[in-house]
Structure formats: C-alpha cells, structure tokens
Amino acid sequence: MVQPLSEAFDETLKAAVKEIDDAKQVELYKKAQTILAQDAAAVYIMDPNLNVALSNKLAGYKQYPLYVQDLSTVYFTE
C-alpha cells in the first residue's frame, strides 16, 4: 500500500490538476515540487533485480546494490 507523502502535497497536486489557468497551474506544480524536494529528497522508483547465477567453476564475484556488473574480480577456480 502506498502511503501519501503529505496532505499538503496531495492537496496541492489535486488543485494543480483541476486548475484551468496556466500560470496558476504552473505555480501549484512548483509548490508541489518544492514540498516533494523538502519532504522526500530521494524516492526510488525501482528495485534492481539482484539475482545472479554463476558456474561453480567461477569465484570472486561481488554483488553491488546497483545495476553495475564488475567482472574484473571474477576468476576460474579449475
């Protein structure tokens, strides 16, 4: 279940969607963006898939919490 960021953010975003005056709508979106930046500096929109399968003849693999696959440390054991 997604928790709301804040009532102020939700109300500002709803008002921006309903606003028909372009200038007022821009100001409301800017206000919503400011609230978002202050309340939630980092919002992750995905979790990278961290499943890795290697042959038992390989060793030295390091798992990183990113999409990076650094194979410079991998070596054959046999």
| Of the candidates 30, 32, 38, the residue with the CA atom closest to the CA atom of residue 10 | 32
Cα distance between residue 66 and residue 69, in whole Å: 8
Q: What was the pLDDT predicted at 2?
A: 56
Structure tokens at 43: 């919002």
DSSP-assigned beta bridge partners for residue 75: 59
Residue 9, Cβ neighbours under 10 Å: how many?
Answer: 19
The confidence score (pLDDT) of residue 65 equals 75
pLDDT tens-digit series, residues 3-60: 666 889 999 999 999 999 999 999 999 999 999 888 876 766 666 667 788 888 999 9
